[in-house]
Amino acid sequence: MAYVSATDMVIDARNRKYAVGHFNLNNMEFIRAFLLAAQETQSPMILGVSGSTAKYMGGYRSIVGMVKPFIDHLAITVPVALHADHGNFAQVLDAIDAGFSSVMFDGSSLPFEENLHKSEQLVEICRKKGISLECEVNGIGGEEHGVVKVGGTADPEQCRRLGLIGINMLAAGIGNIHGKYPADWPGLHFDLLEEIARITDYTPLVLHGGSQIPANMLRRAIALGISKINVNTECQMAFAAAVREYIEQGKDRIGTGYSLQTLLSPGVEAIQRVAMDKMMLFGSVGKA
Q: Which residues are catalytic?
A: 85
Nearest CA-CA partner of 2 in 80, 118, 92: 80
- Examine residue 153 and tell whether it contacts ligand 13P (CB under 6 A): no
- Examine residue 14 and tell whether it contacts ligand 13P (CB under 6 A): no
Q: Are 181 and 212 in contact (CB under 8 A)?
A: yes
Q: Which of 101, 102, 138, 233 binds ligand 13P (CB under 6 A)?
A: 233
The least CB distance from residue 179 to ligand 13P, in Å, is 5
- Examine residue 152 and tell whether it contacts ligand 13P (CB under 6 A): no
- Examine residue 210 and tell whether it contacts ligand 13P (CB under 6 A): yes
Q: Which of residues 252 and 277 has its CB atom nearest to ligand 13P in the complex?
A: 277
DSSP string, 265-288: HHHHHHHHHHHHHHHHHHT-TT--
Pairing of strands 45-50, 80-87: parallel
Pairing of strands 20-24, 226-231: parallel
Q: Which of residues 239 and 246 has its CB atom nearest to ligand 13P in the complex?
A: 239
Cα–Cα distance for residue pair 204/272, rounded to 1 Å: 26
Cα–Cα distance for residue pair 153/188, rounded to 1 Å: 10
- Examine residue 149 and tell whether it contacts ligand 13P (CB under 6 A): no
Distance of CA 129 to the CA centre of its chain: 21
- Examine residue 108 and tell whether it contacts ligand 13P (CB under 6 A): no
The b/e string for 133-161 (b: 16+ C-beta within 10 A; e otherwise) is bbbbbbbbbbebeeeebebbbbbbebbbb
Site size toward ligand 13P, by CB under 6 A = 15
Q: Which of residues 74 and 217 has its CB atom nearest to ligand 13P in the complex?
A: 217
- Examine residue 134 and tell whether it contacts ligand 13P (CB under 6 A): no
Q: Which of 7, 24, 168, 203 binds ligand 13P (CB under 6 A)?
A: 24
Angle at CA 98, nearest 5°, toward 96 and 102? Answer: 40
Nearest CA-CA partner of 67 in 93, 28, 109: 28
Q: Which of residues 184 and 248 has its CB atom nearest to ligand 13P in the complex?
A: 184
- Examine residue 232 and tell whether it contacts ligand 13P (CB under 6 A): yes
**Interface with ligand 13P in residues 237-266 (CB under 6 A):** none
Sign of the torsion formed by the C-alpha atoms of 69, 75, 81 and 85: negative
Q: Which of 173, 209, 267, 283 binds ligand 13P (CB under 6 A)?
A: 209
209 backbone φψ class: left, alpha, beta (φ>0; ψ -120 to 50) = left
Region binding ligand 13P by CB under 6 A among candidate stretches 3-11, 69-77, 227-235, 257-265: 227-235
- x/- map, 65-104, ligand 13P, by CB under 6 A: --------------------xx------------------
Region binding ligand 13P by CB under 6 A among candidate stretches 95-103, 112-120, 188-196, 232-240: 232-240
CA dihedral 51, 53, 59, 65 (to 10 degrees): -120
- Which residues in this chain contact ligand 13P in the complex, by CB under 6 A? 24, 48, 85-86, 178-179, 208-211, 230-234
